[in-house]
């Protein structure tokens, strides 16, 4: 019995594979290596002492996916594989719809035909848009996301809800807030391929001198210091939530709801400026920055009410912002030791 982890060599996927292996799950990874590198597999093995089965192919290739389902007794899936760059999704909408939705549908076809249940979907707080009140709980009304990337997440949720109801299967929709940090071993983290869009990788590279200055997108928001507020959740905490969500799905009885939805965040908002200062303090480094105009499509504030995950999964975020940011700096140092392979 194995768990299929798509995108299992990616940022959140690789951390989750480690937690699954540590909890004695058998793991089968499918990843097309479009946004990661092969050495992550070796590092997973170094951390856990176990080597998961790995297939390098694009999930749009249904015939290859069928072979994986033929070869393994798959009893659940955590689906991380997706394109995730917000800006790029606006420029390449059809590629985003094709990649994110066809791959999902291909897995669900296999699930449908083989009677498999237990599907965990990587969703995002972006499905809430700018919510009217904080913190955001799971009953907060969804808004049409600004980006194509966000729309693929909302559509994915709808496809899975229909799948669950029509075929009586269990699914869990996990809405991540802003994942940050790296593995404490410094062997896994977010690979900075190209110019980072997200705040923490950009801060990391600025502190390392790879980027000259951090651009802070706007200091005229109606927040305490004028910079936008998000809920930064440590990636290892986030990975553990997947194991808890999977265990709940696998243990649930037929009387329980078919669709679980959880917000995964810390419950605490931090401003861009607070993140920059916390990074400087945690790592005793300087992060030069300049204030710029607001970035198009950004919201002012988003932080989670994650009480439902605590109540039903027994999970809560445990790692402070400072601790998470320390792991980011250790990861950067690790990357510098292998800089020949990293595309900056
Ligand atoms: C955080 C804050 C920026 C970079 C996006 C996706 C979301 C999710 C995570 C992913 C904002 C500010 C950033 C910089 C800055 N999904 N910022 N200078 O926009 O909250 O969420 O990524 O896979 O769906 O929309 O995250 O890290 O880009 O930005 O000032 O160089 O940092 O304006 O306020 P965001 P982020």
Residue found under tokens 């997973």: 44
Which region, left, alpha or beta, applies to residue 276 given φ > 0 means left and ψ of -120 to 50 means alpha?
A: alpha
Binding pocket residue ranges, ligand 1, CB within 6 Å: 84, 86, 124, 126, 178, 197-199, 202, 214-217, 228, 230, 272, 295, 298
Q: Which helix (H) or strand (E) holds 159?
A: helix 148-167
Which atom of ligand 1 is nearest to 302's Cα?
20
291, with CB counted inside 10 A (0-12, 13-18, 19+), is middle
Judge contact between 317 and 267, C-beta under 8 A.
Answer: yes
**234-245: per-residue pLDDT in tens?**
999 999 999 999
As a whole number, mean pLDDT of residues 279-290 equals 98
Rounded to an integer, what distance in angstroms lies between the CA atom of residue 10 and that of residue 188? 9
pLDDT for 160 beyond 70: yes
Residue nearest to atom 23 of ligand 1 (CA): 84
DSSP type of residue 98: I
Which atom of ligand 1 is nearest to 294's Cα?
33
Q: Which of 84, 291, 295 to mutate to test the pocket of ligand 1 (most atoms within 8 A of CB)?
A: 295
pLDDT (0 to 100) of residue 161: 98
Q: Which helix (H) or strand (E) holds 26?
A: strand 26-30
pLDDT for 344 beyond 70: no
Whether 221 is a known active-site residue: answer no
| Selected catalytic residue, list 11, 96, 128, 149 | 149
As a whole number, mean pLDDT of residues 299-320 equals 98
**181-200: per-residue pLDDT in tens?**
999 999 999 997 889 999 99
Q: Which of 258, 261, 260, 247 is nearest to 304 (CA)?
A: 261
Judge contact between 302 and 266, C-beta under 8 A.
Answer: no
How many Å separate Cα 268 from the centre of its chain? Answer: 18
pLDDT (0 to 100) of residue 290: 98
Give the residue extent of every domain in the chain. 2-343
CA of 146 to the centre of ligand 1 (A): 13
**44-89: per-residue pLDDT in tens?**
999 999 999 999 999 999 999 999 999 999 999 999 999 999 999 9
pLDDT for 342 beyond 70: no
For the chain, what percent of residues have pLDDT higher than 90?
94
- Cα–Cα distances in Å, from 75 out to 111, 185, 257, 262, 276? 9, 30, 19, 21, 42
What dihedral angle (degrees, nearest 10) is formed by the CA atoms of 145, 149, 155, 161? Answer: -100
pLDDT (0 to 100) of residue 338: 83
CA of 219 to the centre of ligand 1 (A): 14
Q: What is the mean pLDDT of the chain?
A: 96
CA of 272 to the centre of ligand 1 (A): 9
Q: Which of 233, 112, 110 is nearest to 176 (CA)?
A: 233
Q: Which of 69, 78, 68 is nearest to 23 (CA)?
A: 78
CATH number of 2-343: 3.40.50.720
SS3 251: helix
As a whole number, mean pLDDT of residues 332-340 equals 85
CA of 199 to the centre of ligand 1 (A): 6
Which atom of ligand 1 is nearest to 217's Cα?
30
CA of 297 to the centre of ligand 1 (A): 10
CA of 68 to the centre of ligand 1 (A): 35
Which region, left, alpha or beta, applies to residue 129 given φ > 0 means left and ψ of -120 to 50 means alpha?
A: left
Which atom of ligand 1 is nearest to 179's Cα?
9
pLDDT (0 to 100) of residue 339: 66
**103-137: per-residue pLDDT in tens?**
999 999 999 999 999 999 999 999 999 999 999 99
Q: Which of 200, 218, 230 to mutate to test the pocket of ligand 1 (most atoms within 8 A of CB)?
A: 230
**243-254: per-residue pLDDT in tens?**
999 999 999 988
Judge contact between 141 and 229, C-beta under 8 A.
Answer: no
Which atom of ligand 1 is nearest to 196's Cα?
31
- The per-residue DSSP string of 188-232 comes to ------SS--SHHHHHHHHHTTSSS-EEEE-S-SSSSSSS-EE-E
Residue nearest to atom 19 of ligand 1 (CA): 298
Residue nearest to atom 3 of ligand 1 (CA): 217
- The per-residue DSSP string of 101-121 comes to IIHHHHHHHHHHHHT---EEE
Contacts of 128 (CB under 8 A, 6+ apart): 136, 140, 141, 142, 143, 175, 302
């Amino acid at each position: 019995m194995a768990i299929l982890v798509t995108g299992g060599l990616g940022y959140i996927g690789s951390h989750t594979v480690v937690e699954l292996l540590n909890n004695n799950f058998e793991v089968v990874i499918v990843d097309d290596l479009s946004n990661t590198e092969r050495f992550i597999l070796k590092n997973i093995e170094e951390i856990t002492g176990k080597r998961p089965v790995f297939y390098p192919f694009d999930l749009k290739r249904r015939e290859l996916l069928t072979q994986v389902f033929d070869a393994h007794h798959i009893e659940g899936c955590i689906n991380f594989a997706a394109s995730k760059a917000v800006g790029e999704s606006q420029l390449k909408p059809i590629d985003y719809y094709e990649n994110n939705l066809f791959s999902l549908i291909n897995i669900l076809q296999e699930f449908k035909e083989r009677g498999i249940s237990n599907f965990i979907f990587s969703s995002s707080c972006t499905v809430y848009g700018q919510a009217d009140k904080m913190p955001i709980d799971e009953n907060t009304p969804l808004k049409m996301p600004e980006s194509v990337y966000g729309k693929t997440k909302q559509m994915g949720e709808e496809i899975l809800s229909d799948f669950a109801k029509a075929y009586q299967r269990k699914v869990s929709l996990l809405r991540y807030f802003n994942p940050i940090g790296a593995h404490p071993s410094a062997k896994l983290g977010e690979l900075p391929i190209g110019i980072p869009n997200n705040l923490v990788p950009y801060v990391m590279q600025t502190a390392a001198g790879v980027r000259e200055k951090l651009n802070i997108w706007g200091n005229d928001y109606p927040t305490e210091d004028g910079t936008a507020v998000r809920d930064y959740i440590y990636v290892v905490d986030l990975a553990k939530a997947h194991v808890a969500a999977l265990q709940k799905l696998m243990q649930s009885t037929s009387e329980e709801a078919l669709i679980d939805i959880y917000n995964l965040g810390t419950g605490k908002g931090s401003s861009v400026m607070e993140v920059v200062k916390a990074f400087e303090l945690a790592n005793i480094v300087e992060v030069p920055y300049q204030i710029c105009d607001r970035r198009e499509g950004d919201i002012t504030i988003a932080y989670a009410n994650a009480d439902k995950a605590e109540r039903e999964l027994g999970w809560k975020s445990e790692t402070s912002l400072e601790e998470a940011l320390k792991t980011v700096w250790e990861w950067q140092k690790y990357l510098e030791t292998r800089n020949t392979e990293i595309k900056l």
